[in-house]
Amino acid sequence: MSLSVSVKNALPFADGSEIMSEIAAAHDTLLSGSGRGNDFLGWVRLPFDYDKEEFKRVKAAAKKIREQSDLLIVIGIGGSYLGARAAIEYISSPNYNMFRKDGTPMIVFAGNSISSDQAQEIIDLTSGMDFSVNVISKSGTTTEPAISFRIFKALCEQRYGAAAKDRIFATTDAARGALKTLADAAGYECFVIPDNVGGRFSVLTPVGLLPIAVAGIDIDSIMQGAADMASKLHVPGEDNPAWQYAAARNALYRKGYTTEIIAAYEPRFRYMGEWWKQLYGESEGKELKGIFPASVDLTADLHSMGQYIQQGLRNIFETVVGFESFRTNVTVPDGDKLDGLDFLVGRPLSEINDMAAKGTALAHVDGGVPNLSVTVEKADAYSFGELVYFFEFACGLSGYTLGVNPFDQPGVEAYKKNMFALIGKPGYEDMRKALLERL
Ligand code: PA5
């Protein structure tokens, strides 16, 4: 089965079919490249048009990293981080480092915070382990990864001397930026983030593909899943799953459902939720508009956030990502009768999980929470490609329907300016004075 969407449990609240003509217009705008932000539409045809020679280099670099390292440090933040982590957790395991295949290195993510503790932990981890570094930054000037790269570049040079250059891989702009200049001067192997692909749409470029390939994941299968999904979604029509999803969420938003919670009943989906939050939050949250994207891990969060979802403020709807089949088949064993669970003996956990999901969805609908569902065959490399492309394409449709430019992020600059002023960056002196008066 390919990816499917069900809006049945949202229909009592809002009917997406009423705004299909707007989704159709957004579809035309997106595919004709005639809308706002059209200089960032490189992701639309990426599953077909990606650079095949560079793809081969990604595989070769991944092999080299696997052969020479016990540890890969992936430095990046936001769109230069979340996709790779989401893929490794979703396709391999949230416990990848514990269960990784023979011959694949441990993978840790750095530069996604300015935390000293996080940096020190990774510094400690490198002792006694051969390591490589993949630094990922389109601009090359983002503070968090730039600080982190200083730390791990120095460590790499201390350990390996001149050979450090064979252990540092830079994923950045094709021609511009501080990282590109530095990488060229030092002789690092470079991979390109295309000009017309924004950070949060870049997981199917070397940004995501290199760390994912190092983890031993089949990146051909990811690209195939994305290409098959793109072929499907480029065809206009009310049965287009991206149309259905974009229409339902915009119809709900107009009825006051301003928060969307993405949920899954598999812990491996957790970082897909983080990736999805950035994709939708950064694409839609602007001009004082946009659905607030949140995520929960179920059933775990039914015991923490479940109360709010069931009975809190009624401005939320949920989108549940589910699977048709599973890799494993653990069943409930015979045991102490006192727990009252004898009726479950021999039943698969997947069946019980599915009943928990179905029961919860109906309880939430009864409690006033519209429910959308997105289902894929199973959690693997192919469905990762499908899901990535599905959510990206639906995001483009949804953003245009909302009336914003889904491909910029002007608001991200505000915190950076304040931070630069407060840490004393030259040129920010007046701003620093004004901010200090307010602290
Ligand atoms: O989606 C985006 O554009 C952002 O999340 C960026 O990816 C993030 O800020 C990192 O930027 P850069 O890759 O330039 O370091």
Q: Is residue 310 part of a domain?
A: yes
Pairwise CA distance, residues 1 & 82, whole Å: 27
> Has residue 438 been placed in a domain?
no
Q: Per residue in 13-50, is it b (16+ CB within 10 Å) or e — as a string?
A: bbbbeebbebbbebbebbbeeebebeebbbbbebbeeb
Question: How would DSSP label each residue in 345-376?
Answer: TT-BHHHHHHHHHHHHHHHHHHTT--EEEEEE
Retrieve residue 126's tokens.
């490198």
Same domain, 68 and 116: yes
Count of domains for the chain: 2
- Is residue 180 within 8 A of residue 22, CB to CB? The reply is no
Query: Is the minimum distance from the CB of 392 to ligand 1 under 6 angstroms?
Result: no
Per annotation, catalytic residue among 303, 337, 413, 437: 303
The Cα 80–Cα 74 span in angstroms is 9
Q: What is the pLDDT, as a whole number, of residue 102?
A: 86
Residue from 112, 113, 135, 138 to probe ligand 1 pocket by mutation (most atoms less than 8 Å from CB): 138
Choice among 63, 101, 416, 417 that is catalytic: 416
Last residue of a domain, one of 219, 235, 252: 219
The enclosing domain of 149 has a CATH number of 3.40.50.10490
Residues 228 and 295 in one domain: yes
For the chain, how many residues are written? 439
> Is the same domain home to 202 and 274?
no
**Ligand 1 atom 2, closest CA:** 199
In a domain, 410, yes or no: no
Tell which atom from ligand 1 comes closest to the C-alpha of 198.
3
In a domain, 31, yes or no: yes
Pair 301, 390 in one domain: yes
Among 219, 235, 257, where does a domain finish? 219
**Could you tell me the distance, in angstroms and rounded to a whole number, from the CA of residue 144 to the centre of ligand 1?**
11
The atom number, within ligand 1, closest to the CA of 144 reads 15
* Residue 1: predicted pLDDT: 60
Active site residue 416: yes
Residues contacting residue 240 through CB under 8 Å, at least 6 positions apart: 27, 232, 233
Q: Of 125, 310, 91, which is closest to residue 215 (Cα–Cα)? A: 91
Residue 367 CA: distances (Å) to CA of 294, 313, 321, 363, 421: 19, 11, 20, 6, 47
DSSP 8-state assignment for residue 92: I
Q: Are 199 and 117 within one domain?
A: yes
CA of 372 to the centre of ligand 1 (A): 29
Task: Select from 196, 219, 242 the last residue of a domain.
Answer: 219
CB 193 within 8 A of CB 176: no
State if residue 277 touches ligand 1 by the CB under 6 angstroms criterion: no
- DSSP type of residue 293: E
Return the closest-CA partner of residue 244 out of 111, 373, 89, 413: 373
pLDDT reported for residue 84: 98
Sign of CA dihedral 28, 33, 38, 41: positive
Both tokens of residue 284?
């839609």
Same domain, 100 and 178: yes
292 occurs within a structural domain: yes
Please indicate, yes or no, if residue 371 is contained in any of the structural domains: yes
Residue of the CA atom closest to atom 15 of ligand 1: 137
Whether 271 and 158 share a structural domain: no
27 tagged catalytic: no
| Residues 321 and 386 both lie in one domain | yes
Say yes or no: 243 and 189 in one domain: no
Q: Per residue of the chain (439 residues), give pLDDT as tens.
A: 689 999 999 999 999 999 999 999 999 999 999 999 999 999 999 999 999 999 999 999 999 999 999 999 999 999 999 999 999 999 999 999 999 988 999 999 999 999 999 999 999 999 989 999 999 999 888 999 999 999 999 999 999 999 999 999 999 999 888 999 999 999 999 999 999 999 999 999 999 999 999 999 999 999 999 999 999 999 999 999 999 999 999 999 999 999 999 999 999 999 999 999 999 999 999 999 999 999 999 999 999 999 999 999 999 999 999 999 999 999 999 998 899 999 999 999 999 999 999 999 999 999 999 999 999 999 999 999 999 999 999 999 999 999 999 999 999 888 889 999 999 999 999 999 999 999 9
Whether residues 263 and 151 share a domain: the answer is no
Query: 208 CB under 6 A from ligand 1?
Result: no
The answer to whether residues 397 and 253 belong to one domain is: yes
15 and 90, same domain (yes or no)? no
For 419, what's the count of Cα atoms within 13 Å in the CB-facing half-sphere?
9
* Residue ranges making up the domain that contains 128: 46-219
Q: Which of 75, 112, 139, 408 to mutate to test the pocket of ligand 1 (most atoms within 8 A of CB)?
A: 139
For ligand 1, say whether the CB of 29 is within 6 Å of any of its atoms: no
CA distances from 101 to 96, 98, 106, 125, 229 (A): 9, 9, 10, 19, 29
Is the shortest distance between the CB of 78 and ligand 1 below 6 Å?
A: yes
Tell me how far the alpha carbon of residue 205 lies from the centroid of ligand 1, in angstroms. 14
**256 found inside a domain:** yes
Read off the pTM: 0.97
Beta bridge pairs of residue 261: 294, 318
- The answer to the question of residue 379 being in a domain is yes
Cβ neighbours for 379, distance < 8 A, ≥ 6 positions apart: 90, 91, 266, 268, 269, 323, 326, 327
Is 429 catalytic? The answer is no
Closest CA to 152 of 202, 111, 196, 198: 111
pLDDT of residue 141: 86
